[in-house]
Amino acid sequence: MSAVPASASPPDPAAVEAQRVDALAAAALLAVDPAGLGGAVLRAPAGPARDDWLAALRALLPADAPVRRVPLGIADDRLLGGLDLAATLAAGRPVAQRGVLADADGGIAVLAMAERLGADTAARVAAVLDHGEVTVQREGLSLARAARIGVVALDEGLTDDERTPAALRERLAFAPALPPRSPRDDALPLPWTRDDIGAARARLSRVRVGDDVVQALCAAALALGVDSVRAPLLAVRAARAAAALAGRTDADADDAALAARLVLAHRATRLPAPPPDDLPDEPAEADAEPPPPPQDAAEPPPATDDDAQREPQALEDRVLDAAEAAIPPGLLAALLSGVMSRDRSPTGGRAGALKQGRLRGRPAGVRRGEPRAGARLNLIATLRTAAPWQPLRRREAGARDSAAGARLHVRREDFHVTRFKQRSETTTLFVVDASGSSALHRLAEAKGAVELLLADCYVRRDRVAVIGFRGAGAELLLPPTRSLVRAKKSLAGLPGGGGTPLAAAIDSAAALADAVRRQGATPLVVLLTDGRANVARDGRPGRAQAQADAQAAAARLRATGVGVLLLDTSPQPQPTAQQLALAMGARYLPLPHADARAMSAAVQQAVRGADPVG
């Protein structure tokens, strides 16, 4: 999350007050129908604003409604339930334990640090939200427990890459904006009491939502570019809850407008299209037919299609205006500039690839196997597997009169070992074209861009390497290192001029990437060139053979699966560079008018935002 510029105007007190009122309304509606609305995403750092919202939700929920906190990294048996190992070993028979989600039945599950939630855990929570129950079929158990819950995801992410998983966000109705609040400021009083929520819950099943309200909410979702079918469904449920909270049995336009603000606005991906301009009146023609004679005053005028559609259209416009007014200012600016990215890689450019490990890294579950070759025995998983079989094994042991007195019978097929995942470091290989054509055009800017990228890599603690190519071949100017000073010195000593041995440069990059990969790191090649090769692989001049050799080298690099970014540094985008990027499966970035800082920003955006494409 970028810092607010010093020149930015202070927030509008009226807008801040409206955000706080809407946030309290979202808490009240969630208290009325937690299972139907799914929950809320609170994207805000820990502080008074978030604490006030959670306290308001707890104050509005029924006194017996449970609120359970789900810590990050919770195990499946604690989340969903499973075998109670201690009770099973003591009783000599399988004993099941309840999970946190089942314990929260009828209440709220609070997910801590939801921006770092694993995809597997998010999928399990999403399945519980969809079905309203927890199903466990493992460790000799087959259980189904009710879990009609709402979820509050505490999202403390600072960047767009750090967000609650999309599968979970889609199922949670609300994402209230929580303006920062000083501890000295008073919290807003709650307009509702716990008794009001109880009465609304009793009234909820009798609330009707008319077709006009459903149509208005669907039209607003379509105009805002909300492509999820769940969003208008959640908005309809929010309108029902709002009507029940207001003491009505029919949802009206006010309820629809509130639902649009709270459910649809934060999901917007585009601004509504402006209304079409009114067509000018057609000039009256001289030979036009005279108007029909006036009808009897007692006879009412016939109804027209415009009269029939005026009221539904007005409702749709009101709902859409309410949703558009609630779009956050930052989101509105991003939509206007068209820079929002719908799909972003959460780890691209920020960390290396995940790889399996036996001894180091973050635990990533268990697997059946024996503790050999350094693998670690997972004692708990082993005992869980052995526990359900103890009565049968005791009877077998008693029949054979061997090991009959053993308290616990563990066999080879029970052994489980721990799996680990560790993220390998990224090594960025900068391959810089220092030939005569590149030096004439952009070598100074290319050096500046690489220096800025080196600084960015240093912040991420990535290793970097620099390969320069000119004349008859390519040269490794800097082996993989974390030293920013050495990298800058290697660039400063890079002269320009001579031919373009592009094939030799690609071969050198492929060899270095292979060496980096064998060391356990994740290589990324950033190639800065205009793509106009004129020196063949054997060092002889000749543009045709040089281009053929470069294409062949690019195909071999693509076969290795290494990520490649190609920056076309020529004054105008070159077809040769585009063909080269296609051959090596690289992401192609033409930068005809960019300075060093713009080139650096483009490369960082490409690395963060997408995987290399072919």
Tell me: the pLDDT tens digits for 256-277? 999 999 999 889 887 776 665 5
Token pair listed for 200: 């609304």
**DSSP label of 378:** -
Mean pLDDT of 232-245: 95
Taking every pair of C-alpha atoms in the chain, what is the biggest distance, in angstroms?
117
Phi, psi of 405 (to 5 degrees): -90, 5
Token pair listed for 520: 């356990």
Q: What pLDDT was estimated at residue 129?
A: 95
Closest by alpha carbon to 239, among 29, 41, 21?
A: 29
Cβ-contact 262, 173 below 8 angstroms: yes
Distance CA 101, CA 125 (A): 8
Architecture of domain 13-183: 3-Layer(aba) Sandwich (3.40)
Q: What pLDDT was estimated at residue 568?
A: 81
Task: Tell me: pLDDT of 355 over 60.
Answer: no
Phi, psi of 163 (to 5 degrees): -140, 155
Distance CA 48, CA 283 (A): 64
Q: In sequence order, which residues have a C-beta less than 8 Å from that of residue 580 and are 6 or more positions away? A: 502, 531, 550, 551, 554, 566, 586
Cβ-contact 30, 150 below 8 angstroms: yes
Task: Tell me: pLDDT of 472 over 50.
Answer: yes
Q: What pLDDT was estimated at residue 338?
A: 45
Q: What pLDDT was estimated at residue 534?
A: 86
- For the stretch 412-427, pLDDT in tens is 778 877 777 655 677 8
Least confident residue range of 122-131, 207-216, 314-323: 314-323
Q: What pLDDT was estimated at residue 352?
A: 46
Within 173-252, residue ranges assigned H as helices are: 194-204, 211-223, 230-245
Architecture of domain 205-271+311-338: Orthogonal Bundle (1.10)
Distance CA 611, CA 494 (A): 30
- Kindly report the pTM of this predicted structure: 0.59
Average pLDDT, the chain: 77
Q: What are the residue boundaries of the structural domains of the chain, listed by start? A: 13-183, 205-271+311-338, 354-423, 426-609
Highest average pLDDT, of 264-278, 301-315, 335-349, comes from 264-278
- For the stretch 77-118, pLDDT in tens is 889 887 776 677 667 677 788 889 999 999 999 999 999 888
Q: What pLDDT was estimated at residue 456?
A: 67
Q: What pLDDT was estimated at residue 242?
A: 95
- For the stretch 359-372, pLDDT in tens is 555 556 677 777 76
Cβ-contact 107, 48 below 8 angstroms: no
Mind giving me the DSSP string for 384-435? HHHGGGHHHHHHHHHHHTSSTT-S----GGG-EEEEEEEEPPEEEEEEEE-S
Cβ-contact 480, 523 below 8 angstroms: no
Give yes or no on whether 13-183 and 426-609 have one common fold.
Answer: yes
Cβ-contact 568, 589 below 8 angstroms: yes
For tokens 């959640």, the residue is 234
Report helix, strand or coil for 40. strand
- For the stretch 132-190, pLDDT in tens is 999 887 766 778 899 999 999 999 887 666 889 999 999 999 999 888 876 666 667 88
More confident residue, 475 or 600: 475
Q: What pLDDT was estimated at residue 54?
A: 94
Task: Tell me: pLDDT of 385 over 60.
Answer: yes
More confident residue, 293 or 93: 93
More confident residue, 584 or 492: 584
What is the separation, in whole angstroms, between the first and last Cα of the chain?
31
Q: What pLDDT was estimated at residue 128?
A: 94
User: Taking the domain 426-609, which CATH number applies?
Assistant: 3.40.50.410
**% of the chain at pLDDT higher than 90:** 28
Highest average pLDDT, of 107-121, 308-322, 588-602, comes from 107-121
- For the stretch 475-494, pLDDT in tens is 888 788 777 777 777 777 66
Task: Tell me: pLDDT of 75 over 90.
Answer: no
Q: What pLDDT was estimated at residue 339?
A: 40
With cut-offs at 50, 70 and 90, classify the pLDDT of residue 498. Answer: confident
Q: What pLDDT was estimated at residue 147?
A: 92
Highest average pLDDT, of 20-34, 460-474, 517-531, comes from 20-34
Highest average pLDDT, of 151-160, 240-249, 280-289, 520-529, comes from 240-249
